[in-house]
């Protein structure tokens, strides 16, 4: 009699190759693999939807309804006819799903990464968790849920505050990144130490990858503090170079999105650990006006000291960022200057504004008048 010791974990994940079930034992001739899958599904009571992770274990992304979906029509109703009419309109159109908004491809890419993570680490809760955080009334809730169902998004958690500030809830949800269309809310979040950015709908949307999450960051006042930008604004380019040269070996202070890059890096390492560095579904980019030969060195040294790897660093030495971003095709690009955000959006890149640091006091006026609707 052959004694087979079966590690339960191996059986569940279908790794046991030696298990052979004689076809006669259950009357059909299906292969042993299929049997195991059925067995594990029934045994664990798995439903088709995987269980959401505990917020403190996951990388929690909070998105507002206005960046996840396109709600311009409804916004107009709100602005022109007031809140009661707006709610009436929403309920009237409850069964019409919204179209995808600027954060939609980003959220889809997060889900793609989750699928890959679950394959490699079925028991782990280190995943992306998406929470819809909106200050809409729950009257709009049914329409939002219908829309999530229509687009087959995996969002099981939400927070509709009915007009109250969402900031307290962002903290309660252990939010790692908050994306909203409302610059005031984003500023409030940043003030509370939560990485946040305002998203805008680009006029044309370039196609982005569906299998690899690509996130691009500006350097100063996004990953790093705005220290160097202050010098540049106050004393000009020469002084900036001088300062950077003198302080090459001094680390830059951290900026509002450093934590998010760190969270991405932790997840990337999980793929590397399974030998998937070349096929990693997360790729990060630094797109900075610093130049490689001089001021860029301090940026790289700082990242290295922080233990953060960035996949591609592009030092533009002041050249326009738009064309470079158009090549990169990130799902989201974070910059502290509206000038760059608008420039990127003009070329179809989904850009998000981080209203942090000295640049907010010296915003360059763009050619177009972009009204950020409330």
Partner 1 sequence: MVSTVQNTDIEQKDAEHAVVVAMTFKAVFGSDDGDDVYGAGVAFTLLQALQTVNERLLLENPSEMLLFDIILITTDRQQQQQSDRIMSSTRHHGLQIHRFCFSCEDDFTDSLLQNKVHLFLSTDKNETVQAASRGVLSALVDHQTTLCSSQQLKVVFCGDSIVQPDADINAASRQAAEVFSAQLGEMRRRFGALDSPLSIVVMTSSGGRDSCCSALRTLRTRGLSVDEAHCLAGAPRGIILSVLRPHFQLSDGLSGLQD
Closest contact distance (angstroms) between CB of 85 and partner 1 is: 10
Nearer residue to partner 1 within complex by CB, 141 or 330: 141
Closest contact distance (angstroms) between CB of 128 and partner 1 is: 14
Closest contact distance (angstroms) between CB of 164 and partner 1 is: 7
List phi, psi (to 5°) of 128.
Answer: -85, 140
Closest contact distance (angstroms) between CB of 42 and partner 1 is: 21
Nearer residue to partner 1 within complex by CB, 174 or 254: 174
Closest contact distance (angstroms) between CB of 132 and partner 1 is: 9
Q: Are 362 and 338 in contact (CB under 8 A)?
A: no
Backbone angle region of 214, left / alpha / beta, with phi > 0 → left and psi within -120 to 50 → alpha: beta
Q: Which residues bind partner 1 (CB under 8 A)?
A: 49, 51-52, 54-55, 83-84, 87, 137-139, 141-142, 145-146, 148-149, 155-164, 168-169, 171-173
Alpha carbons 93 and 252: distance in angstroms, whole number: 50
Return the HEC string of the chain.
CCCCCCCHHHHHCCCCCCCCCCHHHCCCCCCHHHHHHHHHHHHHCCCCCCCCCCCCCCEEEEECHHHHEECHHHHHHHHHHCHHHHHHHHHHCCCCCCEECCCHHHHHHHHHHHHHHHHHCCCCCCCEEEEEEECCCHHHHHHHHHHHHHCCCCCCEEEECCCCCCHHHHHHCCEEEEEECCHHHHHHHHHCCCCEEEECCCCCCCCCCCCCEEEEECHHHHHECCHHHHHHHHHCHHHHHHHHHHCCCCCCCECCCHHHHHHHHHHHHHHHCCCCCCCCCEEEEEEECCCCCCHHHHHHHHHHHCCCCCCEEEECCCCCCHHHHHHHCCCEEEECCHHHHHHHHHCCCCEEECCCCHHHHHCCCCCCCCCCCC
Closest contact distance (angstroms) between CB of 45 and partner 1 is: 14
Nearer residue to partner 1 within complex by CB, 159 or 201: 159
Nearer residue to partner 1 within complex by CB, 165 or 250: 165
Q: Is 218 a catalytic residue?
A: yes
Closest contact distance (angstroms) between CB of 73 and partner 1 is: 19
Among 7, 28, 218, 238, the one annotated catalytic: 218
Nearer residue to partner 1 within complex by CB, 173 or 232: 173
Q: Are 229 and 358 in contact (CB under 8 A)?
A: yes
Nearer residue to partner 1 within complex by CB, 54 or 239: 54
Nearer residue to partner 1 within complex by CB, 46 or 83: 83
Active-site residue numbers? Answer: 218
């Amino acid at each position: 009699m052959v004694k087979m010791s079966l590690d339960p974990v191996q059986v569940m994940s279908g790794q046991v190759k030696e298990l052979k079930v004689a076809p006669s034992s259950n009357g059909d001739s299906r292969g042993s693999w299929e049997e195991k899958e059925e067995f594990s599904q029934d045994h664990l009571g798995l439903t088709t939807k995987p269980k959401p992770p505990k917020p403190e274990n996951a990388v929690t992304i909070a998105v507002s309804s206005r960046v996840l979906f396109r709600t311009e029509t409804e916004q107009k109703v709100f602005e022109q006819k007031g809140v009661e009419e707006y709610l009436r309109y929403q309920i009237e159109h409850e069964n019409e799903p919204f179209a995808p908004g600027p954060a939609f491809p980003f959220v889809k890419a997060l889900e793609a990464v989750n699928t890959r993570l679950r394959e490699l680490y079925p028991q782990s809760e280190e995943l992306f968790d998406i929470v819809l955080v909106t200050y809409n009334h729950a009257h709009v809730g049914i329409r939002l849920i219908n829309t999530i169902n229509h687009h087959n998004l995996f969002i099981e958690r939400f927070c509709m505050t009915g007009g109250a500030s969402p900031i307290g809830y962002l903290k309660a949800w252990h939010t790692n990144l908050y994306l909203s269309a409302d610059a005031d809310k984003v500023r409030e979040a940043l003030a509370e130490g939560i990485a946040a950015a305002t998203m805008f709908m680009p006029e044309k949307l370039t196609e982005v990858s569906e299998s690899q999450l690509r996130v691009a960051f500006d350097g100063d006042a996004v990953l790093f503090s705005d220290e160097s930008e202050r010098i540049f604004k106050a004393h000009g380019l020469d002084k900036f170079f001088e300062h950077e040269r003198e302080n090459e070996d001094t680390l830059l202070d951290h900026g509002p999105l450093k934590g998010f890059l760190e969270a991405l890096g932790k997840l990337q390492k999980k793929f590397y650990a399974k030998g998937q560095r070349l096929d990693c579904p997360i790729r990060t980019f630094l797109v900075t006006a610093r130049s490689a030969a001089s001021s860029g060195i301090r940026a790289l040294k700082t990242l290295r000291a922080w233990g953060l790897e960035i996949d591609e660093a592009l030092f533009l030495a002041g050249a326009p960022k738009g064309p470079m971003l158009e090549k990169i095709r990130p799902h989201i690009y974070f910059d502290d200057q509206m000038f760059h955000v608008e420039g990127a959006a003009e070329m179809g890149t989904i850009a998000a504004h981080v209203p942090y640091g000295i640049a907010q006091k010296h915003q360059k006026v763009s050619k177009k008048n972009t009204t950020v609707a409330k």
